[in-house]
A and B are shown apart, each in its own frame.
Chain A
Amino acid sequence: MTDLPETTERKLGLVIDLDICVGCHACVTACKGWNTENYGAPLADDDAYGEEPVGAFLNRVHSFEVTPESGPAQLVHFPRSCLHCDDAPCVTVCPTGASWKRAEDGIVLVNEDECIGCGLCAWACPYGAREMDPSAQVMKKCTLCVDRIDNENLDPIDREPACVRTCPTGARHFGDLGDPESAVSQLVEERGGMDLMPEQGTKPVNKYLPPRPKDEEIDVLAPLLAPVADEPRGFLGWLDKALERMG
């Protein structure tokens, strides 16, 4: 069924902190690992040890150089994965109903048994979040690790997406963005979390936290550290003069 649910009870998603991410790609590896060994067709690689390796990944980390109006350039690492959009164009274009959005929590999923591999949903996604599996020839995308978060056999601490669980810096947060009281919603509120490509009208659930502004001045105490004398006096003054005389 490719009609989008009018609203979803919860809006599960990620909040990614661009101020903290160090671009280590650990989330990429954890994602590839979990989603190769668990639910659905394994994320395959073609020519993995050859000249032109290609493979399906559900999470990719770009690095951007950002030069502000004034001040030095900064490097911003930018993880990119499915944003579980409220108005997901990838769902409505699907001819088979394989691409769907779960009404209870808003997760956008692919039913791999129904997918004909037409690729239209990947074209419809503005964010490049869907990749066709090179060997199973069905569409793969981030599931928010449904098979972890729904799995009651796992320890509570593990019932979050593999990327969030593994991120060594705590740059990734998982929660219900439909509940204004949730920790993730509070974080978005506090830090001015933003949507990617709002002009596309997809209403992404995932939010990105902007890098914090860098300090312009060193410190409020800095003025107190200003040199008290411009001219050296005492021993230093004598040394200065003596050296000067030596020419």
Chain B
Amino acid sequence: MKTKISPEQQKYVHNIRKKQILIRLYQLLLFVGFIILWEYTAKHGIINSFIFSCPSKLFATFLSMLKDGSLIHHIFITLYETLAGFAIVIIGSLLIATLFWWNETLSKVLEPYLVILNSLPKSALAPVLIVWLGSNKTTIIVCACSVAIFGSILNIYTGFVNVENDKLKLIKTLKGTRFQCLKLVVLPSNVPNIISVMKVNIGLCLVGVVIGEFLAAREGLGYLIIYGSQTFKMGNVLLSILILCVIAMFLYMILQKIEKKLSGYF
């Protein structure tokens, strides 16, 4: 569909583009400026480079850890634990929400307990989990799950219950069973909600993993941070935090891509 573009329209589009480019430019400038300022103040002793480290040191640490393979290993461990926890949370909460939808009595009975568990500060559970399950990867994955799963169940269940009643009536007028209501209306109409729940939970799982690694791990980025801070290797600490940022952003962006792909249908 090509229509003739009027000069006004061209000018309008041009202006919008220009604004977008400027915004990107400012963002980049801010970042570069921050790095330069950090490096400069550390070099000239305005801030204590032992405590605050500096970009050039960070970069050197990054390269050396990359070379001996330890960085990749720690990243891989943290990523693995996060994704495993995430998968369990999503699959688990879909199953449990479905069960709740199916059996209203069950959901009524359990809902207050879920609400309580969800409002609990989840980091309080981590030490308990370590005592119960020991210091290993399983514990950390369970820790990630415990942070995310209760809220996830509640949100997905709410989405299921709020499906337009008349849509279910439609399936019933076509002589559909309850299972068909679930398969043909409840699940598909909740895809957008499920994805937005996923977007929240991927971040929460990462938080859970880092908490777990703080307390119980011998590997992973959380371990690097806690170990680095105890041995005053601030380069390691800040580098790990930076990488966590990148991982969080990266995981979130994947889900956002999926959401955009699907958004046309809902």
Do these two chains really belong together in a complex?
A: no
